[in-house]
Homo-oligomer: A and B are copies of this chain.
Amino acid sequence: MTNKLNLKNLTKSEEDYLKALFQLLIEDDSGKVGNNQLADYLKVSPASTNNMIKKLKAKKYVVSEKYGKLELTEEGKSIAVRLIRKHRLWETFLCNYLNFSWDEVHEVAEQLEHIKSQKLVNELDRFMDFPSKDPHGEVIPNADGEYFVLPKITLSSLEEGAVCQLVSVNDASVTFLKYVSEIGLALSSEIKVLEVREFDSSIRIQFNQVEETVTRKFADNVFVKVI
Interface residues of A in 125-148 (CB under 8 A from B): 126-127
Is B123 a contact of A98 with CB atoms below 8 Å?
Answer: yes
Does residue A18 face the partner (Cβ distance < 8 Å to B)? no
Q: Which residue of chain B has the shortest Cβ distance to A107 in the bound complex? A: B117
Interface residues of A in 166-194 (CB under 8 A from B): none
Q: Which of B98, B104, B108 contacts A127 (CB 8 A)?
A: B98
Q: Which residue of chain B has the shortest Cβ distance to A125 in the bound complex? A: B98
Is B112 a contact of A115 with CB atoms below 8 Å?
Answer: yes
Is B111 a contact of A123 with CB atoms below 8 Å?
Answer: no
A94: chain B residues at CB < 8 Å are 120
User: CA of A111 to CA of B114 in the docked complex: distance in angstroms?
Assistant: 9
Is A98 a contact of B120 with CB atoms below 8 Å?
Answer: yes
Is B99 a contact of A123 with CB atoms below 8 Å?
Answer: yes
User: CA of A124 to CA of B119 in the docked complex: distance in angstroms?
Assistant: 19
User: CA of A104 to CA of B123 in the docked complex: distance in angstroms?
Assistant: 13
Is B97 a contact of A119 with CB atoms below 8 Å?
Answer: no
Most buried by B among A98, A100, A104, A123: A98
Secondary structure class of chain A's binding surface, majority of residues = helix
A98: chain B residues at CB < 8 Å are 119-120, 123-124, 127
User: CA of A97 to CA of B104 in the docked complex: distance in angstroms?
Assistant: 23
User: CA of A112 to CA of B120 in the docked complex: distance in angstroms?
Assistant: 11
Give 1 or 0 for each of A93-110: 1 = CB within 8 Å of chain B CB.
Answer: 010011110001001100
Is B123 a contact of A108 with CB atoms below 8 Å?
Answer: no
Q: Which of B104, B115, B126 contacts A119 (CB 8 A)?
A: B104
A111: chain B residues at CB < 8 Å are 115-117
Provide a sorted-by-A list of 22 A–B residue pairs whose CB atoms are within 8 angstroms. A94-B120, A97-B127, A98-B119, A98-B120, A98-B123, A98-B124, A98-B127, A99-B123, A99-B126, A100-B119, A100-B123, A104-B119, A107-B117, A108-B115, A108-B117, A108-B119, A108-B120, A111-B115, A111-B116, A111-B117, A112-B115, A115-B115
What is the interface of chain A, defined by CB distance below 8 A to chain B? 94, 97-100, 104, 107-108, 111-112, 115-117, 119-120, 123-124, 126-127
